[in-house]
């Protein structure tokens, strides 16, 4: 069959181009807000319905458009921000390609109402698939409102690829939050179906704005940083080493006022904290990098958020130094205070920065051993699976014993994690995980997007033993937890779970499993937890009873054997 070449219609071309600028509701939200900022607005209201899929409305008090400008604003390559190529060198606005409105309107139904004071009347325009269907004079105070309805209604393929509502919504919240952080002095209001998701008053400072998306628990424990070198000015806030996360999602970077993603900066942060971090934990950080535009190469593709720096090494060094300096200052302040008052804003005690790599808790695990361990996972097999001989704990982490003609080595954390995972999964299936009421309920303050997620999954959390209650808009109180984690840092466990569910776009079965995994991991013995002989045997017996004893829930091995054969090889007898 011959392949005929077709000429694409303008409408098809428009939709393809649109895909590059608006890939999801959050990107439309970003473009519309950037237009409002470019128009000089100092108050921007964003309203969404069904996570932006049925409605995104952005209203501002910026300059507005004249009728003739409004009319062409949705055509491709129409911009008021760039006249010729020489402007590119000095451009200060967020947009200048003239692609956003045309792209958005090509794949939705758009209402624009705008009023520029130079003219006595405002304008209202209605478009479908990028075509103007109505245009008429309309009243409005100075500014512009753009309402985008039924995004991707004419591109079913893209509509299909939208994530679950909670995920799209959390991207919108994060997008608005990042713009609020990088644009102090502008009021931002985000609502979904009349419910406030985020609000930044005009005079709200940067740290308070950071708390909107990272949550107060994170922002309250950040340290200010600042440095100025020949090439880079670095300002921002970083978390204390004791206040870290399981991933890098709390690292937010801006280059010359624009959000971007950067492995280089993540690595630099890691370098600055290195010896102070528990493995698998990452600092939270909001960094503002200012530099001469000639020092960077901004990838001109609109949806790519990457930036190439000419002098990566200097930037990395500057970031590391900025962070370390701020820590030294904090340490000094603490020392000056004679270690006396705790509860100070910057740091709660000298140990906070000094305790470095022994974040690993050496807490009491006696509960787990006595109460949970000794209870059989399944009752059909009795105790006493082993011939109990000598048993040793090596390096505070591994259990070694002789097993026939071999040496068996077990990782105590991985093994216990597997045991708890199966105990918990079994209990959850029966709907009866053992619950521990907290003597002192833990309050957690979440980001707006996380709060939305918690409300959705509150019931499922409850059936797993996490009794979480709303306590104001973005605050929750944990009243009870599954008994297996009662002695652990409940706040961190719950926070990790929530940020996972919020970001991973999981189905119900998946997130229930994820919760169980996190609880098991956190509830399990840690490296460094000292075990007595009875406890070690109890753990091994429990492990033996598991249905999948050979790996932890994340797939790492729990045990291995050193066989006689191997010993003989090592001694070159074979
Ligand atoms: P760009 O921002 O790259 O110029 P857009 O497609 O986003 O392209 O917008 C096209 C033009 O429409 C802008 O240059 C601006 O003149 C006008 N415009 C869009 N949104 C607004 C707004 N909220 N207020 C005032 N003018 C706007
Ligand atoms: Mg724009």
| CA dist., res. 492 & res. 469, Å (int) | 17
CA-CA-CA-CA dihedral for 546, 549, 552, 556, to nearest 10: -170
What pLDDT, on the 0 to 100 scale, is given for residue 324? Answer: 86
- Looking at residue 304, its pLDDT comes to 60
Which of 30, 92, 101 for a ligand 1 pocket mutation test, highest count of atoms within 8 Å of Cβ?
101
Nearest CA to ligand 1 atom 19: 35
pLDDT at residue 392, as a whole number: 94
Alpha helices in 274-411 (DSSP H): 312-336, 350-354, 366-367
The pLDDT of residue 356 is: 33
CB neighbours of residue 80 within 10 Å: 17
The CA 79 to ligand 1 mean position distance, Å, reads 6
Q: Which residues line the pocket of ligand 1, CB cutoff 6 A?
A: 31, 35-36, 38-39, 60, 62-65, 73, 78-81, 95-102, 144
Looking at all shown ligands, the one closest to residue 73's CA atom is: 1
Residue whose CA is at the smallest distance from ligand 1 atom 21: 35
How would you classify the pairing of strands 307-309 and 391-394? unpaired
d(CA 98, ligand 1 centre) in Å? 7
Q: Which ligand is closest in space to the CA of residue 91? A: 1
Q: Give pLDDT, residue 60.
A: 98
Q: If you take atom 8 of ligand 1, which residue's CA is the nearest one?
A: 98
Mutational pocket test of ligand 1: of 28, 35, 106, 302, the residue with most ligand atoms within 8 Å of the beta carbon: 35
Look at residue 371 in the predicted model and tell me its pLDDT.
42
Could you tell me if 531 and 539 are in contact, meaning their C-beta atoms sit under 8 angstroms apart? yes
Chain segment 248-282, per-residue pLDDT in tens: 889 999 999 999 999 999 999 988 887 677 777 88
**Residue 208 Cα, ligand 2 centroid: separation in angstroms?**
27
Atom of ligand 1 nearest to the CA of 78: 10
pTM: 0.68
User: Looking at domain 391-561, does it have CATH number 3.30.1370.100?
Assistant: yes
Which atom of ligand 1 is found nearest the CA of 101? Answer: 6
User: What pLDDT is recorded for position 32?
Assistant: 97
Query: Which residue has the least CA distance to atom 25 on ligand 1?
Result: 64
The β-bridge partners of 259 are 254
**241 Cα distance to chain centroid:** 18
Per DSSP, the chain holds a count of helices (H) and strands (E) of 18, 24
Residue 386's pLDDT is 67
Query: How far out from the chain centre does Cα 124 lie?
Result: 39
Q: Ligand 1: distance of its center to the CA of 389 in Å?
A: 78
Residue whose CA lies nearest to ligand 1 atom number 27: 35
Residues of the chain with CATH 3.30.565.10: 10-204
Measured distance between the N- and C-terminal CA atoms of the chain, rounded to whole angstroms: 66
Counting as low any pLDDT under 70, the low residues of the chain are 1-2, 88-90, 275, 299-304, 332-386
Using CB atoms within 10 Å of the CB of residue 461, give its burial: 0 to 12 exposed, 13 to 18 middle, 19+ buried: buried
Could you tell me if 309 and 295 are in contact, meaning their C-beta atoms sit under 8 angstroms apart?
yes
Ligand number nearest CA of 82 is 1
Decide if 190 contacts 173 (C-beta within 8 A): yes
The DSSP output letter for 485 is: G
245 phi-psi bin (left φ>0, alpha ψ -120 to 50, beta other): beta
Taking residue 548's Cβ as centre, other Cβ atoms within 10 Å add up to 11
Confidence (pLDDT) at 178: 97
CATH 3.30.230.10 range(s) for the chain read 207-356
131: CA distance to ligand 2 center in Å? 19
pLDDT, residue 383, reads: 45
Give residue for tokens 């919504």.
169
CATH architecture designation of domain 10-204 = 2-Layer Sandwich (3.30)
Spacing, Cα 73 to ligand 1 middle (Å): 6
Query: How far is ligand 1, taken at its centre, from the CA of residue 322, in Å?
Result: 38
Centre of ligand 2 to C-alpha 428, Å, is 50
Q: Whose atoms come closest to the Cα of 97: which ligand?
A: 1
Q: Does domain 207-356 have CATH number 2.40.30.10?
A: no
The atom number, within ligand 1, closest to the CA of 100 reads 6
Q: Whose CA is nearest to atom 16 of ligand 1?
A: 80
The pLDDT score that the predictor gives to residue 307 is 86
- Taking alpha carbons only, the member of 192, 213, 367 closest to residue 200 is 213
| Per-residue confidence (pLDDT) for residue 335, from 0 to 100 | 65
User: Which residue is closest in CA terms to ligand 1's atom 23?
Assistant: 36
Q: How long, in residues, is the chain?
A: 574
């Amino acid at each position: 069959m011959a392949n005929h070449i077709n000429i694409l219609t303008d409408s098809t071309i428009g939709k393809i181009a649109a895909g590059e600028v608006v890939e999801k509701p959050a990107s439309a939200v970003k473009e519309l807000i950037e237009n409002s900022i470019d128009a000089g607005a100092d108050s921007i209201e964003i309203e969404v319905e069904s996570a932006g899929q049925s409605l995104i409305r952005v209203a501002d008090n910026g300059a507005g458009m004249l009728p003739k400008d409004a009319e062409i604003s949705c055509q491709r390559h129409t911009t008021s921000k760039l006249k010729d190529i020489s402007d590119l060198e000095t451009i200060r606005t967020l947009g200048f390609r003239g692609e956003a409105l045309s792209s958005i309107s090509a794949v939705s139904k758009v209402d624009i109402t705008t009023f520029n004071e130079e003219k006595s009347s405002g304008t209202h325009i209605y478009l479908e698939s990028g075509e103007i269907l109505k245009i008429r004079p309309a009243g409005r105070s100075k500014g512009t409102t753009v309402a985008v309805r039924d995004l991707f209604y004419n591109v079913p393929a893209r509509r299909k690829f939208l994530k679950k509502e909670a995920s799209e919504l959390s991207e919108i919240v994060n997008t608005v939050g990042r713009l609020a952080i990088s644009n102090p002095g502008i009021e931002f209001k985000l609502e979904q179906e009349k419910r406030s998701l985020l609000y930044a008053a005009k005079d709200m400072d940067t740290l308070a704005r950071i708390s909107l998306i990272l949550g107060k628990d994170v922002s309250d424990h950040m340290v200010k940083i600042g440095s100025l070198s020949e090439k880079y000015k670095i300002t921002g806030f970083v978390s204390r080493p004791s206040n870290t996360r399981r991933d890098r999602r709390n690292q937010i970077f801006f280059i010359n006022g624009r959000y971007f993603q950067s492995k280089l900066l993540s690595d630099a942060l890691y370098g600055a904290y290195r010896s102070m971090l528990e493995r698998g934990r990452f600092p939270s950080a909001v960094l503002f990098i200012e530099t001469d535009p000639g020092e960077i190469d901004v990838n001109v593709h609109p949806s790519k958020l990457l930036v190439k720096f000419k002098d990566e090494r200097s930037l990395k060094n500057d970031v590391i130094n900025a962070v370390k300096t701020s820590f030294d200052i904090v340490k000094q302040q603490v020392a000056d205070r004679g270690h006396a008052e705790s509860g100070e804003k910057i740091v709660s005690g000298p140990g906070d920065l000094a305790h470095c790599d022994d974040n690993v808790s050496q807490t009491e695990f006696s509960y787990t051993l006595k109460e949970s361990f000794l209870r059989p996972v399944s009752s059909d097999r009795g105790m006493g699976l082993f011939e109990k001989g000598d048993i040793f704990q090596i390096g505070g982490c591994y259990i070694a014993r002789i097993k026939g003609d071999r040496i068996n080595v077990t990782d105590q954390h991985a093994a216990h994690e597997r045991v708890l995972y199966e105990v918990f999964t079994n209990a959850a299936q029966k709907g009866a995980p053992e619950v521990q009421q907290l003597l002192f309920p833990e309050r957690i303050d979440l980001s707006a997007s996380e709060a939305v997620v918690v409300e959705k999954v509150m019931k499922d959390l409850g059936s797993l033993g996490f009794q979480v209650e709303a306590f104001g808009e973005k605050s929750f109180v944990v009243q009870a937890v599954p008994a297996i984690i009662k002695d652990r840092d409940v706040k961190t466990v719950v926070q990790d779970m929530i940020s996972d569910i919020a970001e991973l776009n999981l189905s119900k079965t998946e997130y229930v499993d994820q919760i169980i995994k996190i609880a098991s991991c956190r509830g399990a013995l840690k490296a460094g937890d000292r075990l007595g002989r009875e406890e070690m045997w109890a753990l091994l017996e429990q492990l033996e009873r598991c249905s999948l004893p050979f790996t932890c829930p994340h797939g790492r091995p729990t045990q291995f054997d050193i066989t006689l054969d191997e010993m003989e090889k090592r001694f070159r007898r074979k």
